[in-house]
């Protein structure tokens, strides 16, 4: 969605549906795929910050606190929304659960479609 949000807002493109589970605040008049009658087609663009394995918890906590502060600044939130991103700045544990669930979801898609690794 981020690459097309400006064009949909400007009216040069018409948004038929978004693949997120809920409508986007950036494009509130564009329905979800499920609202359009197409179920099971959820996909989102996730952005995140990772650190090397073994990074001390104190450093992770400090980075998380500072990143959450920055992401909550009105101008940062506004710019993200303008680009089509909704800010979700939560805990490293919540992010890990999100990543785990996403891996499981896409692993199922890959297995169900019988997609094989290129050798």
Asked if 71 and 105 sit in the same domain, the reply is: yes
**Mean pLDDT, residues 7-20 taken together:** 92
Contacts of 90 (CB under 8 A, 6+ apart): 68
Both 105 and 52 in one domain: the answer is yes
Give the model's confidence band at 42: pLDDT under 50 very low, under 70 low, under 90 confident, else very high.
Answer: confident
Question: 61-86: per-residue pLDDT in tens?
Answer: 999 999 999 999 999 999 988 887 88
Residues 105 and 62 placed together within one structural domain of the fold:
yes
- pLDDT over 70 for what percent of the chain? 100
pLDDT, residue 14, reads 94
Can you give the CATH number for the domain in which 13 is found? 3.40.190.10
Q: Domain residues for 22?
A: 1-45
The pLDDT mean for the chain works out to 91
pTM (predicted TM-score):
0.74
């Amino acid at each position: 969605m981020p690459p097309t949000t400006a064009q949909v807002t400007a009216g040069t493109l018409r948004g038929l549906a978004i693949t997120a589970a809920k409508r986007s605040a950036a494009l509130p008049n564009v329905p979800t795929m499920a609202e359009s009658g197409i179920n099971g087609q959820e996909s989102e663009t996730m952005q995140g910050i990772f650190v090397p394995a073994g990074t001390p918890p104190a450093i992770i906590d400090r980075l998380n606190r500072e990143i959450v502060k920055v992401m909550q600044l009105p101008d940062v939130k506004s710019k993200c929304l303008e680009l089509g991103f909704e800010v979700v700045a939560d805990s490293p544990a919540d992010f890990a659960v999100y990543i785990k669930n996403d891996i499981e979801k896409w692993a199922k898609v890959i297995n169900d479609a019988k997609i094989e690794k290129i050798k």
